[in-house]
A and B are shown apart, each in its own frame.
Chain A
Amino acid sequence: MAFAESPLAQPQAETPRLPLLVQLHDWVVTVDHKRLGIMYICTGLLFFAVAGLEASIMRWQLAFPNHDVVSPAVFNRLFTMHGTTMVFLVGMPLILGLANYLIPLMIGARDLAFPRLNAFGFWLSLFGGALLYFSYLGGEGLTGAGTAPDVGWFAYAPLTERAFSRGHSTDYWILSLLVGGIGSVATSINIVTTVVCMRCQGMTLARMPLFVWMLLVVAGMILLIMPPLTAAQIMLLLDRYLGARFFDTQAGGSALLWQHFFWIFGHPEVYVLMLPGFAAASEIIPVFSRKPMFGYAAMVGATLAIAFIGMGVWAHHMFTVGMSTMANTFFAASTMLIAVPTGIKIFNWLATMYGGKIRFATPMLFCTGFLFQFLCAGLTGIMLAAPPFDWQLSDSYFVVAHFHYVLIGGLLFTIFAAIYYWFPKATGKMLSETLGQWHFWLLVIGFNLTFGPQHIAGILGMPRRIYTYAPGRGWELWNLLSSVGVAFQALAVLCFVWNVIRALRQGPPAGDDPWDAWTLEWTTTSPPPEYNFETLPEVQSRRPLWDLKHPHDPDWHHE
C-alpha cells in the first residue's frame, strides 16, 4: 500500500481524460485490432438488442390465437429482418470481433497482418448493417411498395425478382449483405495471413491455442463460402436492374439454382458461426477444469473434418423441393456424418471436465449450459437429416426450434461465456459473479421455455413464418409458453447489461491473469497496451503460462 502511495506512482493514475470528441475521433480512426475487436463486439450486441426486439414483437403476436398486434406484412418484414440481422449483423460481428481481439494476443503478435484492411472490414460491416436498417426509411421506392425486406432471410427466387418484389426493399437486402460480405472476406484474409505469418517464436501450428486453430479454419471457410452468396446476389442484381434471366422462370431460369447457391453459402455459414463458439469453449473449459484440453490433435482434426464435410451438406435444406433419390441419399449421409466430428468434440470437452477440479464461475456455467443444449440441437439435427422425417417437419416450428437450439443454446451461450471470460482482459474490470449467475439461470430458463415447446408445436403441424393461427389445433399452450419464455430471456439480457455497466463504473480491478489461465493473452496487462507485448514472447508448449508458473514441471516435458 505504501508503495502505491509513492509519488512515482501518482502521475500515471491521474492521467487527464481526453475530451470526449478526441476520444471518439480516436475510435473512428483506429487501426488497433483490440479497439476494432471491441467495436465489432459492440456492433454485434447492439444489433442483437434490435433483432431481439423484433423477435419479441413476433412472440407477442403469436402468444394467442388470432392475435392482432402486427399486420401480416409487418410480420413478414419482422422475421426477415430478425433472421438477416441475427446471422449477418450479430453472429458475424461477434465472432470476427473475438477473432480480432484475441488472435494477435494469443499468438504473441502486435497486430493483425493488415491493420488498415482490418479497419476497412469493420466499417464495411457496420455500414452494411446500417444500410439494411435504412430500408425501413428508404425502401419505399418509386412504386411506393414495401418498406423493409420481406422475402425471408434466404430470399428464395423468384419471389425476389422485380415482378414479385416491387420497390427497393429487396435491393437493400442484397446490397447490405454484399457490402457486409466483402467486409467479412477482408477480415478473413487478414486472419489467415496473421496466423500464417505472425506467430511468435516457438509458436508452431501444433502449439497454437485451439481458439486460434478454429478461427483459422473459420476464416478459411469464409473465404470459400461468402463468394457463392456474393455471386448469387450479383446475379439477382443483374436480374433486377439489367433484365438478366438468371432466376426468371418464364425465360427458362431456375428458382432451384438460387436455392443451391444460397445454401452452398448458408449451411457452411452455420459452422462459421458455431466453430468460434467451440473455440471459446475449448479455451474456457480446460481453465475452469484445471486440466489441459483433452485430445488437442483430435480437436484440430475434428474442426477440419467439420469444415470439410460441412461444405458438402447444403442440400439437406432442400429435401422438400424434390431432388433425385441419389442426391437425397448423398446429402442425408453427409449430414449424418458430420455428427461424428461434432461428437468427438463433445466427448473431448466432457473428458477435459472429467476428474478435473471444476470451478463453476460464470464463463464455465455458460459452457456447461452450452454442452447440454448443443447436444439437444445436434440430436434434432440428426433427426432432420433423414429425408422422410424432414418431409414431414420441414418448414415447421420443429426446424425453428432446432436452429435456435444451435444458434442460441450453442452459439450465444458460448459467446456470453467468452465475454465473461475475456471482459476482465479487455477492460481491466471484473464482472459481478452474482449478476452473472442471475444472467445464466434466467437465460437457461427463458431460452428452454421459449424454444423447447416449439419442438412440440412443430410436431403438431405449426408451420414457421405464419403470422397467426386459429384456436383448436393444440398449439395455444406451446405458443403461450414460448412467449412467456421471452420475458425471462429479456430479464437475463438486462442483468447482463447492468452487469457490464456496473463493472465498467465500479468493478473490482481484474489484474493481469484473474482466472489463472495459460495462454499468452494473460501475460500482458489488462487492458493490454496498444503494442500488446513489450518484447515479443517465446513459447515452448501449448500452455506457455503454465510453464512459467511451474518451472519445475513444464508442459513441454509431456507434449
Chain B
Amino acid sequence: MINAIARTSHAEPTEEAFPSRGRVGMVCLIATEAALFAIFVVAYLFYIGKSFIGPYPAQVLEVPILPTICLLASSATIMLAERALSHGYGMRFKGWWFLTILLGVEFLRATAVEWYRLIFTHHLTISTNLFGTTFYSLVGFHALHVTVGLTLLTLVLILSVCGYVTQAQNERVAALSLYWHFVDVVWIVVFLVVYVIGR
C-alpha cells in the first residue's frame, strides 16, 4: 500500500554515501579473523617456556628475515596494482598483481623449508611438546590464510588475463587486497610473538 512516505518541506540530507558492501563485508570478516588469531596468539604466549622436553625455540628457530621482507613487500605491490587498476592501466595492474603472487609464493616456500628442517633435522612435530603444538598451529594457521589469499589472487590474475578485471571491478579488487593486507599485519604479530618474544 503506502510505499513512499511523503516528502515534506524541511530539507533532509538526501543521497547518503554508503561505503561499498564488499568492503564492509571484508572488514567484518577481518574483525572476526583477528579475534580468531588473537586466541591462537594468547595460547602461544601462555605456553612460552612451559614445554617439559625439547627442542626449545632458542635451539631451533631462525629468524625468517627474507620471507618477512617478501610478505611485507607484497602489501606494497598489491597497493600499486590496485592503484594501477583504479587509473585504468590494465597491463601495469597485471604486472604488480603477478609480482604480489610471486612474493607470497616465496613466503610459503620459505615456510615449507623451515618446517622441513624442523621436522626432519630437529624432530619437532606438533605432538613433541607445547612449543611444537603452539608453533605449528599458529604459524600453520597463518600459512593457511596466505594460501587462501594466494588462491584468490591467482583467480583474479586468471580472470584479468581473460579480460574480465576492468576498472569497474575496482571495489572488488580493493576488498581482496584488504584481506591481503590483513594477512600481512597478522604476520607482523606472529613474527613478534614467535621469533622475538618467544625465542
- Inter-chain CA distance A532–B134, complex, in Å, is 50
Partner of B32 from the list A227, A257, A537, A556 (CB cut-off 8 Å) is: A227
B33 at the interface (CB under 8 A from A): yes
Partner of B28 from the list A193, A254, A525 (CB cut-off 8 Å) is: A193
Interface hit among A69-77, A196-204, A294-302, A378-386: A196-204
Q: Are A245 and B12 in contact (CB under 8 A)?
A: no
Residue interface mask B1-31, A partner, CB < 8 A = 1: 1111111101010111011110011001101
Residue interface mask A199-232, B partner, CB < 8 A = 1: 1011010000000000000000001111110111
Taking CB atoms, residues of chain A closer than 8 Å to B36 are 227-228, 230-231
Q: Which residue of A lies closest to B33 (CB)?
A: A227
Q: Are A244 and B126 in contact (CB under 8 A)?
A: yes
- Greatest chain B CB density within 10 A among A251, A540, A548 is at A251
A246 at the interface (CB under 8 A from B): yes
Partner of B18 from the list A196, A202, A225 (CB cut-off 8 Å) is: A196
Q: Are A540 and B18 in contact (CB under 8 A)?
A: no
Taking CB atoms, residues of chain A closer than 8 Å to B137 are 234-235, 238, 244, 246
Interface residues of A in 228-259 (CB under 8 A from B): 228, 230-232, 234-235, 238, 242-246, 251-254, 257
Q: Which residue of B lies closest to A112 (CB)?
A: B21
Taking CB atoms, residues of chain A closer than 8 Å to B40 are 231
Q: How many residues of A contact B (CB 8 A)?
A: 57
Partner of B39 from the list A232, A523, A536 (CB cut-off 8 Å) is: A232
Q: Are B39 and A231 in contact (CB under 8 A)?
A: yes
Q: Are B21 and A193 in contact (CB under 8 A)?
A: yes
A461 at the interface (CB under 8 A from B): no
A432 at the interface (CB under 8 A from B): no
B124 at the interface (CB under 8 A from A): no
Taking CB atoms, residues of chain B closer than 8 Å to A243 are 126-127
- Greatest chain B CB density within 10 A among A197, A230, A245 is at A245
- Inter-chain CA distance A332–B4, complex, in Å, is 51
Taking CB atoms, residues of chain B closer than 8 Å to A512 are 1
A interface residue numbers (CB < 8 A to B)? 113-114, 185, 188-190, 192-193, 196-199, 201-202, 204, 223-228, 230-232, 234-235, 238, 242-246, 251-254, 257, 261, 264, 512, 523-525, 533-540, 544, 547-548, 551, 554, 556
A–B Cβ pairs within 8 angstroms, 29 of them:
A114-B21, A189-B25, A189-B29, A193-B28, A196-B24, A197-B18, A197-B24, A198-B21, A201-B12, A202-B12, A226-B35, A227-B35, A234-B137, A235-B43, A238-B137, A244-B126, A251-B51, A252-B50, A254-B47, A523-B2, A524-B1, A524-B3, A533-B3, A536-B4, A538-B7, A539-B5, A540-B5, A547-B5, A556-B10
Complex A-B, nearest 3 residue pairs according to Cβ-Cβ distance, in ascending order: A243-B127, A231-B39, A227-B36
